[in-house]
Structure 1
């Protein structure tokens, strides 16, 4: 059997009509350790890790001393794809056969995808239970008559699925093709990164044309440019999520502007290398040394790198200086508010992030204000007036809609009048009115996050502020509901940079000249100045 037989049509796929399952692993490896652990299985496992594919292999994932069977069976249930590596002595292991029976059970229950690989065995011998497989089952009949027929059926069923035979191909070639196939399976239904994305589909298609529309026989730098709050990061995340698996390695570096202000460019270089090379670089002592390591280690790799929120050319020089740093076919995506910065760095392809049109804007606003794509009947005209004020800016629409959710019509009208009275920066006024609507305790928690806790783990923050009587669990949830902060899949607190700027500006305005009179000191140099001069009041 060759690779052409391993098409997706040969395997069961997930269905929306099926119940939802929780997946811990992308891939489960079923193999006979004695035959392949230090050979093919080891090489395949390392390739899966390099490609960011979460893989269960019993010798690494089981706790020492644990009773093996329940954990193995649970891991199969929590996997999307199972790779069964049939080898000469596979059937001699009752553990392997128990795994296989569980795999068949999960295929029938939740449409688990299974890929057989035939290592030093004839696929027809496995399927028809001949040779070493026949001998193994003869021994099992003596020891465990009860399960033998179930095991036989499982071997025949899995061996009948199209897969890969290593008989006449190099292991490295087969592993590369298996990785490509698994990537395709995992990407067939990639979910959107963010909930209720509106107007994103056409923008994603335009960006994909920029990224993949031409033959990639070079290194391509692509910029996403636009004002704050317009959705540059969201778009970059969507693109990254859709295409990262076609690259040898990938990395998404967040908050570059903020990290650079804290003098952590070397840290960002280490982060980039760690993600690309799947290892930690501990020997970089300065930015120039990091540049040398980057261009030496990445020049032969086809990589996808996203550098988010760049505002200084030094950041680009430190993280993605020139084309020759990267292998052919690499794509470097840079988001920035500064088009001229991108041009100066030689970025030829720049996508201008667009405001939402009226229909898209009303839909996004409605999702936040009414939890559905259209306004309530009595709120249509008011909704359109708020949408017009937000001027198609997604962040403004989300914050306004979240602020007004569950409010009476008279409260909507009051909020609109307050916005009209404000002059100057529209987006700041929108964010500020949302801040003004918080209780004093919620305002203080918001400013704590804006000044100190952005990027920190939620549980750690709760422990810190609990002693101040902030009721952090409730109030953090409230700030999330109002679209003022988010919590990512790892439990980390995040805040849009415009919201953070607004919060820090509120603190700054408490005392423009006398730093010691401010409630919060957000910058390292401000803290140093106050302490050195003993001006705390």
Structure 2
């Protein structure tokens, strides 16, 4: 966390006195954007005349009259949709120089409306970071407790794949359980307790347009690990070519898909969510699981 905080502070560049600077903290749901923004805000708020941490754009109406010309730290948590940008842009125009705006969002494409902005993409936790966070929740210490099978711990970490929200939920779910219970508990978590995680992830899916949703589901069921150009070619057979290319890029901007080594990749929990969406459309009719 500390290295991430330092990196965001470097982008904010508090020593710069001649501009209003916007930093967007971007990443998939559950990756820790809000937590990071709050820690950064707590570290630097004393440099400003006032600071605001807003969860709802309607709160702009409350603070607009109090920010004119002042040096403000404004944190807007979970920015969604182009329609929500206008009040933010209007408010930014009222701020004094040296003000800083921090935005958290799952859609970095929104930032093109800001001329002077910087993007910080929150990465998934490394294995060592994930293990430490998992142990803090499952064992209430920074390392695995004695008597717990390393293979079971590895299975748990593989399932959550570095996503902080999932690590916290799974670790807490396993807390106070004996090692002999873990295997069954992991299965139970995937069926029931992971609903909270899936709900957070599904918000990103629900905000996609129809074409983006269809392409997301196709990728989740068919194309993970495939060459990006190959996938674009296949999808272009079903959609207009420019739509397929645009929507894949849109999924990348929304942190739902990545391209690594020219291949399409997706977090395994997003893939699981996509497959569940297909299954839930026709829960009792396997023939209608069109993609599976």
Q: TM-score range by the shorter chain?
A: 0.5 to 0.7
Instruction: Name the CA shift for 1:434/1:222 in 2 (closer, same or farther; >3 Å).
Output: closer
Can you list the C-alpha shifts for 1:74-119, whole angstroms capped at 9, x where unaligned? xxxxxxxxxxxxxxxxxxxxxxxxxxxxxxxxxxxxxxxxxxxxxx
In structure 1, the partner of 2:32 is: 231
| Superposition map of 1:180-195 within 5 A | none
Q: How far apart, CA to CA, are the structure 2 residues paired with 1:412 and 1:365?
A: 14
Please tell me whether the aligned partners of residues 251 and 304 of structure 1 are also in contact (alpha carbons under 8 angstroms): yes
In structure 1, the partner of 2:61 is: 270
Q: In the alignment, is residue 360 of structure 1 matched against residue 91 of structure 2? A: no
In structure 1, the partner of 2:51 is: 250
| Superposition map of 1:6-45 within 5 A | none
Instruction: Name the CA shift for 1:227/1:414 in 2 (closer, same or farther; >3 Å).
Output: same
Aligned residues: 204
Q: How far apart, CA to CA, are the structure 2 residues paired with 1:414 and 1:221?
A: 46
Which of the numbers 214, 217, 233 marks the counterpart of 2:18?
217
Aligned to 1:325, the other structure's residue is in SS state coil
Question: What displacement does 1:215 show?
Answer: 1.8
Question: What displacement does 1:312 show?
Answer: 1.6
Give the greater-gyration-radius structure (CA): 1
In structure 1, the partner of 2:95 is: 326
Please tell me whether the aligned partners of residues 5 and 40 of structure 2 are also in contact (alpha carbons under 8 angstroms): yes
Question: What displacement does 1:299 show?
Answer: 3.9
Q: Mark the runs of 5 or more structure 1 residues left unpaired by the alignment.
A: 1-199, 257-264, 278-297, 423-428, 436-501, 513-537
Q: How far apart, CA to CA, are the structure 1 residues paired with 2:129 and 2:80?
A: 29
Q: How far apart, CA to CA, are the structure 1 residues paired with 2:100 and 2:114?
A: 15
In structure 2, the partner of 1:385 is: 155
Instruction: Name the CA shift for 1:301/1:357 in 2 (closer, same or farther; >3 Å).
Output: same
Please tell me whether the aligned partners of residues 403 and 434 of structure 1 are also in contact (alpha carbons under 8 angstroms): no
Please tell me whether the aligned partners of residues 365 and 397 of structure 1 are also in contact (alpha carbons under 8 angstroms): yes
Q: TM-score, normalised by structure 2?
A: 0.62
More relative contact order, 1 or 2 (CA 8 Å, 6+ apart): 2
Can you list the C-alpha shifts for 1:392-431, whole angstroms capped at 9, x where unaligned? 11100000000000112232111334567x7xxxxxx762
Q: How far apart, CA to CA, are the structure 1 residues paired with 2:71 and 2:197?
A: 44
In structure 2, the partner of 1:432 is: 195
Can you list the C-alpha shifts for 1:239-272, whole angstroms capped at 9, x where unaligned? 1101111101110002x3xxxxxxxx5x422333
Can you list the C-alpha shifts for 1:496-534, whole angstroms capped at 9, x where unaligned? xxxxxx9xx99xx79x9xxxxxxxxxxxxxxxxxxxxxx
Q: TM-score, normalised by structure 1?
A: 0.35
Question: What displacement does 1:377 show?
Answer: 2.5
Q: In the alignment, is residue 372 of structure 1 matched against residue 141 of structure 2? A: yes
| Superposition map of 1:386-405 within 5 A | 386-405=156-175
Please tell me whether the aligned partners of residues 396 and 430 of structure 1 are also in contact (alpha carbons under 8 angstroms): no
Q: How far apart, CA to CA, are the structure 2 residues paired with 1:269 and 1:218?
A: 21
In structure 2, the partner of 1:75 is: none
Question: What displacement does 1:213 show?
Answer: 5.8
Aligned to 1:321, the other structure's residue is in SS state helix
Q: How far apart, CA to CA, are the structure 1 residues paired with 2:132 and 2:105?
A: 26
Q: How far apart, CA to CA, are the structure 2 residues paired with 1:342 and 1:318?
A: 14
Please tell me whether the aligned partners of residues 165 and 197 of structure 2 are also in contact (alpha carbons under 8 angstroms): no
Q: How far apart, CA to CA, are the structure 2 residues paired with 1:388 and 1:352?
A: 22
Q: How far apart, CA to CA, are the structure 1 residues paired with 2:63 and 2:97?
A: 18
For the aligned residue pairs, the C-alpha RMSD in angstroms reads: 3.1
Which runs of 4 or more aligned residues in structure 1 lie more than 6 Å from their structure 2 counterparts after TM superposition? none
Please tell me whether the aligned partners of residues 173 and 189 of structure 2 are also in contact (alpha carbons under 8 angstroms): no
Instruction: Name the CA shift for 1:339/1:347 in 2 (closer, same or farther; >3 Å).
Output: farther
